[in-house]
Structure 1
Amino acid sequence: MCTRISSRCVIFTLYPLTLISIICNIVLFFPDGDLKYAKDGHITEEVKYMGGLVGGGIMVLLPALYIHKTGTQGCCGNRCKMLLSIALFAEGGAGALYSFIVAGLGLQNGPLCKVILVWSTPFKNSGHSLLTYLAFGLTCTEPNNIVLFNIVLFATLLATSSLQMILCAIQIINGLFGCFCGAR
């Protein structure tokens, strides 16, 4: 059985997921499509952690690029390369996990927004979920639609990082199979 086909499926699925993660994280820096919030430091704290850019982006992209390169050398290379791919995809899984945790915190804590005259995180430690506030219509006065903006982008990061973790786990299993069973 060739592990090459499985590796290709995994990496070609990881590429768009990493791109989505990177784009979501970058877009989160510009609420309402305006640069002034980033300039003034009025950005949600979890955005600054760059879970989508670093964790779900770069940390997942590196092992995918490695497997893509070694896969062109004849079915995943040798057993040492497969062992290295296991370590790299464990690192990629850790990056996806980091992105997942940051996105979850972003959804749990809610956005930094202006409520009347004060910049705060009104949903943090309130005992209510962000979705509850969205349903009840509690709105931040600035930036426009920041609650929905954060929900959509952090939920997208949560979904992509979940898929990335699953794909990294699949590739780790694939690497173990290729390394220890000598599959080509």
Structure 2
Amino acid sequence: MLSSVLAAFIGILGSGYCIIISALGLSHGPYCFTRLERNWMYPFTESSGGYLLEYNKWSACQEPHNIVQWNVTLFSILLVLGGIEFILCFIQIINGILGGVCGLCCSHEEILLLAVILITLECNMFYRCCRSESCNKTYRSFISIVLALLGVAFSAYSCIIFTLGLIQGPFCNSSHGWDYIFKDTAGGYLTDYLAWSRCTEPTNIVEWNTILLSILIALSGLQLIICSLKVVAELKRTLCGTYSVFVQAGIL
């Protein structure tokens, strides 16, 4: 249970951070070259997200092309994925805590209390499982494996996308116009710091792109490792009937 709750808690932290950053980015709007001011700025900062419903104002951003549509689509997808992951990890934490409590003190009072708290989270199923030790263990292991596999899928997808983005490089303005000028270097530009100056706009876009995607790759990789270990541990417990390779809370 300790490993299950810990992995889910880390997932909640990551998804919560993703939700907050995505919401702020969506509300703040993109950084673009405006038609009226003829300068690089955040033209929708003062609108508090109101620009999202005023499509006629999106044309205020002249460069990069379709940056508002791209910004809205990207952050909306991140919000949805972050929300789904947050809900799944939260359910996993509740499931882990419930299993631990039921295993230690499965009296009538505790069952009634847990049923009230989790009435919207399949309380009837949890109640039945708490009355049967074998059902309880099987159900918890199955839920843990499913949620861990979803974590593996999401984190692997994120890791691949972020890695491809890092290899391709940023979309920036150079002497040849707006393009992915490092897309043919197969990531070689990452060690060729002199080539970074080829991107003239936005300012320091190569550094920002490299740092951001590197952090996201590291976080996705960490989540992938944790979720993979969780899958292996639960499969070992289910198939072999032994304890998890993680330290159990009852042993401490």
TM-score normalised by L of structure 1: 0.75
| Seq. identity, % | 27
SS state at 2:8 partner? helix
SS state at 2:197 partner? coil
1:95 matched to 2:154? yes
SS state at 1:65 partner? helix
Between the aligned partners of 2:204 and 2:194, the Cα distance in structure 1 is 13
SS state at 1:72 partner? helix
Higher Cα Rg: structure 1 or 2?
2
1:86 matched to 2:83? no
SS state at 2:99 partner? coil
Aligned partner of 1:65: which letter?
F
| Corresponding residue for residue 11 of structure 2 | 14
1:3-58 Cα shifts (integer Å, max 9, x gaps): x1111222222222333445666759845873648984248x8x9667x9279734
Aligned partner of 1:103: which letter?
F
- Number of residues paired by the alignment? 178
Retained in 2: the 8 A contact 1:109–1:123? yes
Between the aligned partners of 1:134 and 1:31, the Cα distance in structure 2 is 24
1:94-146 Cα shifts (integer Å, max 9, x gaps): 11001000100110000111113621000001355231343444232211111
1:123-176 Cα shifts (integer Å, max 9, x gaps): 001355231343444232211111111111111110000001011112212322
Name the Cα RMSD after superposition. Answer: 3.6
Structure 1: any 5+ residue segments left out of the alignment? none
Between the aligned partners of 1:49 and 1:60, the Cα distance in structure 2 is 17
Retained in 1: the 8 A contact 2:168–2:187? no
| Corresponding residue for residue 154 of structure 1 | 213
Structure 2: any 5+ residue segments left out of the alignment? 33-40, 45-60, 103-135
1:64 matched to 2:89? yes
Residue 53 (structure 1) aligned to one of 75, 78, 86: 78
SS state at 2:98 partner? coil
53-62 or 68-77, larger mean C-alpha shift: 53-62
Aligned partner of 1:120: which letter?
D
| Corresponding residue for residue 140 of structure 1 | 199
Retained in 2: the 8 A contact 1:108–1:124? yes
| Aligned-pair CA distance for 1:89 | 1.3
1:59-115 Cα shifts (integer Å, max 9, x gaps): 543432221121231328531232122122112111100100010011000011111
